Amino acid sequence: MERYRLHPLLSQEKIASIVEHLAGQISKDYGGRELVLVCILKGAFMFLSDLVRHLRIPVQVDFVRLTSYGSGMETSGIIEITKDIEIPIEGKDVLIIEDIIDSGRTLRFLRKRLSLANPHSVKICALLDKKARREVAVEADYLGTEVDDVFIVGYGIDFNEDYRHLPEIYYVTPIDPAKE
């Protein structure tokens, strides 16, 4: 069985300051508007809850669950929606809350899908961005921080459903038994 090592990347304090900064920007930009946050399950749940706590404007919150076939560190790019939003978004401002942008396919799919309901606007807020891995043109309107092309876990983000509970963010490398 392959084993993995976790390397610290972002501390709780660093994450908190990133999230507070994003919340400040969003509160300023969306004051007086009808904002619906659409959180992508499961990875963005912790980010969403911390972000909402720091907003200074009223918002509504909804969730989508998307599947991209494949497990572990690879995704296929074929995306399906398995849990849709329940709040009507026509005429409203929508902000997608995502944990991490990789190829960009998930966000391109969801942005297009949500736009079909005629919202006033659809923008993207992502905690992390692996820009080097982008395959389709998608940019976050609100971005926490860029990260290198490494596999991230913690703060809601999983590796085969493990490590979501960690309050810090780590990157994962396989342990080579020959070198132990």
Q: Which of ligand IMP, Mg ion, none sits in contact with 48, Cβ below 5 to 8 A by type?
A: none
The vertex-67 CA angle with 117 and 135, nearest 5°, equals 85
Nearer residue to ligand IMP within complex by CB, 139 or 176:
139
Among 157, 166, 169, 170, binds ligand IMP (CB under 6 A): 157
User: Does residue 105 belong to the site contacting ligand IMP (CB under 6 A)?
Assistant: yes
Q: Interface with ligand IMP includes 96 (CB under 6 A)?
A: no
What is the C-alpha separation between 118 and 108, in angstroms, rounded? 16
Spatial separation of the C-alpha atoms in residues 57 and 59, rounded to whole Å: 6
Q: Residue 112: in which H helix or E strand, if any?
A: helix 105-115
| Summary count for the chain: helices (H), strands (E) | 3, 9
Q: For residue 84, indicate whether it is catalytic.
A: no
Would the CA dihedral through 107, 112, 116, 122 be positive or negative? positive
Q: Is 103 in the site for ligand IMP (CB under 6 A)?
A: yes
- Say which of 93, 99, 102, 129 is annotated catalytic: 102
Amino acid at 157: I
In this chain, which of 47, 96, 106, 144 binds ligand IMP, going by CB under 6 A? Answer: 106
Nearer to ligand IMP, 44 or 94 (CB): 44
Nearer to ligand IMP, 43 or 119 (CB): 43
Dist CA 178 CA 164 (whole Å): 29
Q: Tell whether residue 43 is a contact of ligand IMP (CB under 6 A).
A: yes
Q: Which residues bind ligand IMP (CB under 6 A)?
A: 40, 43, 75, 98-106, 151-152, 157
Residues designated as active site:
102
